Amino acid sequence: MSAQPIKQVLTSDVTGAWLEGYDPGDRKFIKIGFLLLENGQTLADIIIAYQTWGTLNEAGDNAILIQHAMTGWSDVPGWWPNMVGPGLAFDTNKYFIVCPNVIGGCQGSTGPSSIAPDGKRYGSRFPAITIRDMVAAEIAFSDAIGIKKYKLAVGPSLGGMRSLEWAVSHPDRVESICTIGSSAVATGDQIGTASIQIRAIKSDPYFNNGDYYEQERGPIAGMGIARRIAHLTYRTESEMDVRFGRELQGDETGRFAVESYLDHQADKLAKRFDANTYIALTEAMNSHDIGFNRGGVVEALRAITIPVLVVSIDTDRLFPPRLQVEIADLVPKAKKLVTISSDFGHDGFLVESEAMSAAIRGII
């Protein structure tokens, strides 16, 4: 295999064009054909948006798959700073780094805002997808760009669910995985919190059952409420109190400073994310169960045959550490559990770059 960068099959960007003021990075696009989904439906003419860094070596054995979190995208430095580059944890002098946007996404990969085969946007017609469907698409994508086996598959949160699925269903395609702030199964608490977020979006008067792409306005308010709820689960109670407490914003609104902060987070997401994608990916996370049709979680984890590094954040209240302990305790070749101490909860994997880098270097 040539050491030159792989030639790409380019297509036009057919998704997310209605989003304004957002630069998703220098993406490439590739067609992977159709996919038979877990629910028996078929998703046709799939396009995957992705980005790469570094060069695939002559042997083709230095590729690393980074799997983004729910509202992440293919531009890893854009959502996970200080991790990809020369001399960094994902050292582009050594490794060929690949990050595709998931199916169901809105930053270039086929999702609810994409043009369906009939020439209209999918909207409410986009089929339900699961973690296993996402991984099936990642396998087809890897085949399309010529990657036979990854040195490592790594991801936080939703990405960690996918990396774990790779270890269970495709151990022949990856040497090892790293799952960060994630779990083997979605918990009742996670599903409950997520269901409220979905309800907020669907209750927006502009949602129109998911068919809002031809409207002047979409369900921005509903998604903003969902994001505010979610962001509180990403951070910690102590951070919110120490950082904001009961401080007022200092303007004529009379808002508390923490309200203004959450408004800002909602506004940022609205500029780059589609409400239907938010629902599709949230429901996929709710469906996550590594043990489904495999004899249960314990049997599925015990059947993993490759090395697994599990990273936990000690203050994570969305994916509490007990969920990572379960994986590390049950996987036969699990490395010693890495627990990162952070004041920032689930988002600690984004903030604590030095600790994350040290953890990653322990598995590559």
Letter string b/e over residues 97-132, b meaning 16 or more CB atoms within 10 A of that residue's CB: bbbbbbbbbbbbbbbbbbbbeeeebbbeebbebbbb
What is the rounded average pLDDT of the residues 299-303?
98
Mean pLDDT of the chain: 93
What is the rounded average pLDDT of the residues 211-240?
97
99-108: pLDDT as tens digits: 999 999 999 9
Quote the pLDDT of residue 25: 75
Work out the percent of the chain whose per-residue pLDDT is above 90.
90
- Catalytic residue positions? 157, 316, 346
β-pairing, 90-91 vs 96-100, is unpaired
254-289: pLDDT as tens digits: 899 999 999 999 999 988 999 999 999 999 999 999
Quote the pLDDT of residue 13: 37
DSSP per-residue codes, 144-184: HHT---BSEEEEETHHHHHHHHHHHH-GGGBS-EEEES--S
52-100: pLDDT as tens digits: 999 999 999 999 999 999 999 999 999 999 999 999 999 999 999 999 9
Angle between helices 257-270 and 220-234 (to 10 degrees): 120
Q: Is the CB of residue 193 less than 8 Å from the CB of residue 222?
A: no
Question: How far apart, in whole angstroms, are the C-alpha atoms of residue 102 and residue 210?
Answer: 19
Other CB atoms within 10 Å distance of the CB of residue 265: 17
Work out the percent of the chain whose per-residue pLDDT is above 70.
94
- Could you tell me the domains of the chain? 28-187+288-361 (3.40.50.1820), 189-284 (1.10.1740.110)
